[in-house]
Amino acid sequence: MKKVLYTGSSLIAAAVLALVIMGLFVPEVEYTATVRITASMEEVWQTYTDMEQRSRWLEGFERSEQLSGTGQAVGAQSVHYFEGGNTYTETITAVQAHQHITTEISTDLFTGTVTAIFEDQGDAVRLQQQTVMRGATFYWRAMMPLLKPLRQRQKLDALDRLEDLVEGSPSRGTARQNAP
């Protein structure tokens, strides 16, 4: 019985130590998701940036409220509301219509940057979302590497739904992850 308790205690201590080390040495996580959407650049850009359409492709999204600035201009700030009472504040830090948009995201749990890059490929648009996330507290910094696969899967699923929405067809699951 003592051996079982000792082994169990050792495993718990090792897990805690691993979390502490991750929190100290992994300040942020990065991941990228890419999709190719067969539509015009205007259609893809419009659907991606239209807050009224966001609930149709971003899971759990309910609504957005503009806090300052206007539309998709640098400095525009809005709060986004999700199911379950979750919110995040988004500030546009860079934008060039039909090319890219970068936002800073902030919640009580994490902060980060999301850059969406739009590349016209003639008959389609390649949309790549690059995300960098940082935990707001030591605990969440430690948790970020563990949450990375889940967060990336959510991004891939959202891009698949965006593709479906723009193309008007069922998902073929073409969004994919890329190495950072």
What pTM does this model have? 0.81
Checking if the pLDDT of 44 tops 80, the result is yes
Specify the number of domains making up the chain: 1
Checking if the pLDDT of 115 tops 90, the result is yes
Mean pLDDT of 99-126: 96
CATH assignment at residue 43 = 3.30.530.20
Checking if the pLDDT of 13 tops 90, the result is no
Q: What Rg value do the Cα atoms of the chain yield, rounded?
A: 19
Checking if the pLDDT of 4 tops 80, the result is no
Look up residue 28 and give its amino acid. E
The pLDDT-based confidence of 169 (bands split at 50, 70, 90) is: low
**Which pLDDT does position 138 carry in this prediction?**
81
> Which residues are CB-contacts of 55 (< 8 A; sequence separation ≥ 6)?
61, 62, 63
Range of 47's domain? 2-178
Between residues 178 and 29, which one has the greater pLDDT? 29
Task: Report how far residue 43's alpha carbon sits from residue 108's, in angstroms, rounded to the nearest whole number.
Answer: 34
The pLDDT-based confidence of 155 (bands split at 50, 70, 90) is: very high
DSSP run (H or E) holding 10: helix 2-25
Task: Report how far residue 28's alpha carbon sits from residue 93's, in angstroms, rounded to the nearest whole number.
Answer: 19
Residue labelled with tokens 């193309």: 167
The pLDDT-based confidence of 59 (bands split at 50, 70, 90) is: very high
Across all residues in the chain, what is the average pLDDT? 86
